[in-house]
């Protein structure tokens, strides 16, 4: 009887949170109802589409299905397909431009939408309803069943983005396409492309050839970013790369076919060392020895959040040649990218060189400025004018609020949510992308195991993100975005590891109703996505299985408490030098450590098998991490 009650409770919870245990979708649909039976996809199946607007989606689905099934399923116009893709003749207001309905039964599957974007997202849901082998790149012989369901689905936010930084480390055209495929699968619709920074200029500007002849290349260095040696005089710059304008056009079209718009970023006036290495006259110091930074330290950061640059990496806001330069850059960029926005950075701009520059001081006096932050506001307003002349809108990091924001600017709030709240209350549109919830370069698990970086962000924290802060009018919140900075990320394999599964959490934050979110249910679906990713060959982190260890010092005693993100894991530990396993002590309550140089070792198990990494905390690490209760 107890087992029956638990089973009924489990199915009840699954219904409340929108999915039957047999159906594991990310992001979770707005509404899903399951009925008896299933549709068996066979080699005789066809894909029908009702007009030419839906033909491209049908062809894409045909290619995907045939790759893994080995069938020769054809897409053809008409209303007799086993899988039917139809655009509504009369738009359904509820689902908007990106929503869809999906109805599957033993007779087949029908996906309807108001626009091709909705059909594309319906297709992504359909693929997740199929067995995990659908992600195989070679033919697999399994029963290709689709459960009988009725799904009504549409996004919570119009802006659902991931940012890929290709300046710190260059990713090839094909790698960028692979990343686009991955984010589109989970219904992200924006790729924020961080194309320029101190470490490389990645987009061809034909009127300024030195940007890619010089700015796209740096000297070879390995090791921790920020600790590498600076370039030496005469040393060849051989590491890097850039995208030709033909490459850019190809990638943009590839993304548009997958309902992804690309937001290009040219980071100014700070973070401009690659541009200054190419054209030194654009800076205040005009230092001709400036090189593209290979990851060496060129700044000092202080505990109060301020910093000092040792090398000038800022454009000169008082020099008209800078605006001529930017006009050339944005003219060519605007002609390439259909996105209505161009991102202009604006973050971490050091103003110390401006305070010493005669031209900047003369401009401040002429404009009755009292603070150097006003120079950045002046700069951004000039940039906004340039962008408007190209038919584009300005978007930047929340530092653009300092000194007075450009009139029609949109703000990306990254230093927490404060900047976003401030901008929204001023009537500016906002994309929420705070470090506290959305920075995918941060460590995602135990700090002695994860690649070293200065902060952490666990999956559960990502999943708790609500982009609309309390007291803010939601009409100003366009949506949210996760950011992957790549100082420590050299390969696509590593980029995948840092993105997933946290990107899955963000996809649900941005797409699904906030009220439907449930951590325990989400974890079940994450583990199904792990299986699908294994089949496809996409990397991901399993940090959720590792123990969470807190060290508390009180009254001369050291106490250890342990937990895990995944419910129901068994935690085993040792403090006697032995390796932990299921035969060593099992954690059930906080453990008081004995005096002396103790080494704590911890591991997690599920169903009698090790599932988490071994964590070893030596005496010095225990002391370093100790907090006072």
Task: Encode pLDDT of 297-350 as tens digits.
Answer: 999 999 888 899 999 999 999 999 999 999 999 999 999 999 999 999 999 999
Between 13-22, 44-53, 216-225, 448-457, the lowest mean confidence (pLDDT) is in 13-22
Interval 344-360: pLDDT, tens: 999 999 999 999 999 99
Give the pLDDT confidence score for residue 626 in this predicted structure.
87
Q: According to the per-residue pLDDT averaged within each range, which of 5-19, 397-411, 428-442 is highest?
A: 428-442
* CB contact at 8 A, 107 and 130: no
pLDDT (0 to 100) of residue 57: 97
- Find, among 74, 162, 60, 72, the residue nearest to 119 by Cα: 60
Looking up tokens 């309807």 gives: 112
Nearest to 550 by CA among 435, 458, 457, 627: 627
User: Residues in the chain, how many?
Assistant: 629
Which residues are CB-contacts of 301 (< 8 A; sequence separation ≥ 6)? 307
Is the torsion defined by CA of 5, 7, 8, 12 positive or negative?
Answer: positive
Q: How far apart are CA 448 and CA 452, in angstroms?
A: 8
Q: How far apart are CA 99 and CA 94, in angstroms?
A: 8
At 4 the pLDDT is: 42
* Tokens matching residue 576: 């006697």
Query: pLDDT grade, residue 614 (50/70/90)?
Result: very high
Where in the sequence numbering do the catalytic residues fall? 197, 271, 348
pLDDT tens, position by position, 481-512? 999 999 999 999 999 999 999 999 999 999 99
In this predicted structure, what is the pLDDT of residue 12?
Answer: 40
Task: Return d(Cα 497, Cα 489) in angstroms, integer.
Answer: 10
In whole angstroms, what is the distance from residue 369 CA to residue 375 CA?
8
Picking from 3-7, 139-143, 564-568, which range would have the lowest pLDDT averaged per residue? 3-7
Peptide bond into 27 cis (omega under 30): yes
Q: Determine the average pLDDT of the residues in 354-381.
A: 96
For 2-13, write each residue's pLDDT tens digit: 444 344 444 444
pLDDT at 515 > cutoff 90: yes
Work out the end-to-end distance of the chain between its first and last CA atoms, rounded to an integer number of angstroms: 44
* Cβ 114 vs Cβ 91: under 8 Å: yes
Q: What are the Cα distances from residue 478, in Å, to 126, 337, 413, 430?
A: 27, 20, 11, 6
At 629 the pLDDT is 61
**Average pLDDT in the 447-465 region?**
93
Give the pLDDT band of residue 98 (cuts 50, 70, 90).
very high
Q: Which letter does DSSP use for residue 553 in this model?
A: E
pLDDT at 100 over 50: yes
Spatial neighbors of 526 by CB under 8 A, at least 6 apart, are: 26, 459, 501, 504, 544
| Bond preceding residue 501 cis, omega within 30 of 0 | yes
CA 476/CA 413 separation, integer angstroms: 12
Q: What is the mean pLDDT of residues 103-119?
A: 98
Angle separating helix axes 502-511 and 519-536, nearest 10 degrees: 120
Supply the pLDDT for residue 303: 86
pLDDT at 10: 40
Domains parsed from the chain with CATH numbers: 23-153 (3.30.379.10), 159-269+327-348+392-536 (3.20.20.80), 546-628 (2.60.40)
Give the containing element (helix H, strand E) for 627.
strand 626-628
Q: What dihedral angle (degrees, nearest 10) is formed by the CA atoms of 105, 108, 114, 115?
A: 140
Backbone angles phi, psi at 480, to 5 degrees: -145, 170
DSSP 482-518: EEE--TT--SHHHHHHHHTTHHHHHHHHHHS-GGG--
- The 8-class DSSP code of residue 123 comes to H
Helix (H) or strand (E) holding 616: strand 615-617
pLDDT at 19: 54
Alpha-carbon distance 143 to 609, whole Å?
30
Helices H / strands E in the chain, number of each: 18, 29
Q: CA–CA separation, 600 vs 590, rounded Å?
A: 13
How many other C-beta atoms are found inside a 10 Å radius of the C-beta of residue 244? 13
Nearest to 65 by CA among 101, 37, 41, 39: 41
**What are 236-251's pLDDT values in tens digits?**
999 999 999 999 999 9
Return the number of other C-beta atoms located less than 10 Å from residue 241's C-beta.
15
**What does pTM read for this prediction?**
0.95
**Contact yes or no for 159/190 (Cβ under 8 A):** yes
pLDDT for 627 equals 79
Residues 6+ away with beta carbon under 8 Å from 238: 217, 219, 220
Q: Name the average pLDDT for the chain.
A: 94
Q: CB 568: neighbour CB atoms within 10 A?
A: 9
Note the pLDDT of residue 148: 97
Band of residue 20 on the pLDDT scale cut at 50, 70, 90: low
Residue 131 has pLDDT above 70, yes or no: yes
**Largest Cα–Cα distance of the chain, in whole Å?**
84
CA distance linking residue 392 with residue 387, whole number of Å: 5
């Amino acid at each position: 009887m107890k087992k029956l009650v638990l089973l009924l409770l489990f199915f009840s919870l699954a219904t409340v949170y929108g999915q039957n245990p047999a159906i594991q979708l990310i992001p979770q649909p707005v509404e899903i109802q399951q009925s008896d039976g299933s549709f068996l996809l066979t080699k005789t199946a066809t894909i029908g589409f009702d007009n030419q607007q839906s033909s491209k989606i049908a062809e894409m689905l045909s290619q995907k299905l045939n790759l893994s099934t080995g069938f020769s399923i054809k897409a053809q116009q008409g209303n007799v397909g086993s899988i039917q893709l139809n655009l509504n003749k009369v738009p359904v207001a509820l689902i908007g431009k990106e929503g869809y309905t999906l109805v599957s039964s033993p007779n087949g599957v029908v996906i309807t939408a108001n626009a091709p974007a909705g059909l594309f997202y319906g297709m992504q849901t359909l693929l997740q309803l199929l067995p995990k082998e659908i992600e195989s790149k070679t033919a697999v012989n399994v029963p290709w069943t689709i459960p009988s369901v009725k799904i009504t689905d549409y996004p919570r936010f119009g802006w659902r983005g991931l940012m890929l930084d290709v300046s710190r480390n260059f990713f090839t055209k094909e790698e960028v396409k692979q990343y686009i495929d991955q984010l589109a699968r989970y219904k992200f619709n924006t790729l924020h492309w961080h194309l320029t920074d101190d470490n490389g200029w990645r987009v061809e500007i034909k009127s300024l050839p030195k940007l890619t002849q010089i700015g796209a290349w740096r000297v070879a260095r390995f090791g921790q970013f920020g600790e590498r040696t600076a370039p030496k005089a005469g040393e060849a710059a051989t590491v890097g790369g850039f995208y030709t304008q033909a490459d850019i056009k190809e990638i943009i079209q590839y993304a548009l076919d997958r309902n992804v718009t690309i937001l290009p970023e040219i980071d100014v006036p700070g973070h401009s060392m690659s541009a200054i290495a190419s054209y030194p006259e654009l800076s205040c110091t005009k230092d001709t020895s400036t090189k593209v930074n290979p990851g060496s330290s060129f700044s000092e950061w202080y505990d109060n959040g301020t910093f000092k640059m040792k090398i000038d990496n800022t454009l000169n806001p008082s020099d008209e040649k800078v605006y001529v330069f930017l006009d050339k850059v944005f003219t060519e960029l605007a002609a390439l990218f259909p996105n209505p926005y161009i991102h202009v950075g604006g973050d971490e701009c050091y103003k110390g060189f401006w305070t010493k520059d005669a031209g900047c001081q003369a401009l401040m006096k002429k404009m009755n400025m009292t603070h150097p932050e006003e120079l950045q506001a002046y700069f951004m307003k000039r940039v906004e004018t340039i962008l408007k002349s190209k038919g584009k809108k300005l978007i930047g990091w929340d530092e653009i609020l300092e000194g007075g924001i450009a009139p029609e600017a949109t703000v990306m709030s990254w230093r927490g949510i404060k900047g976003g709240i401030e901008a929204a209350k001023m009537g500016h549109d906002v994309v929420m992308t705070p470090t506290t919830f959305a920075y995918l370069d941060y460590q995602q698990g135990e700090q002695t195991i994860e690649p070293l970086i200065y902060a952490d962000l666990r999956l559960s924290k990502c999943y708790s993100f609500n982009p609309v802060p309390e007291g803010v009018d939601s009409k100003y919140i366009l949506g949210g975005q996760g950011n992957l900075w790549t100082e420590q990320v050299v390969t696509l394999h590593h980029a995948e590891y840092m993105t997933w599964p946290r990107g899955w959490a963000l996809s649900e934050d941005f797409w699904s109703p906030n009220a439907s979110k449930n951590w325990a249910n989400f974890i079940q679906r994450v583990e199904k996505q792990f299986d699908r990713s294994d089949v496809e060959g996409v990397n991901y982190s399993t940090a959720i299985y590792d123990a969470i260890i807190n060290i508390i010092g009180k009254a001369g005693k050291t106490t250890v408490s342990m937990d895990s993100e995944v419910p129901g894991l068994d935690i085993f530990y040792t403090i006697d030098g032995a390796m932990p396993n299921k035969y060593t002590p099992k954690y059930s309550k906080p453990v008081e450590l004995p005096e002396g140089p103790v080494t704590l070792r911890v591991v997690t198990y599920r169903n009698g098998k090790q599932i988490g990494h071994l964590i070893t905390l030596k005496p010095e690490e225990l002391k370093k991490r100790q907090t006072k209760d």
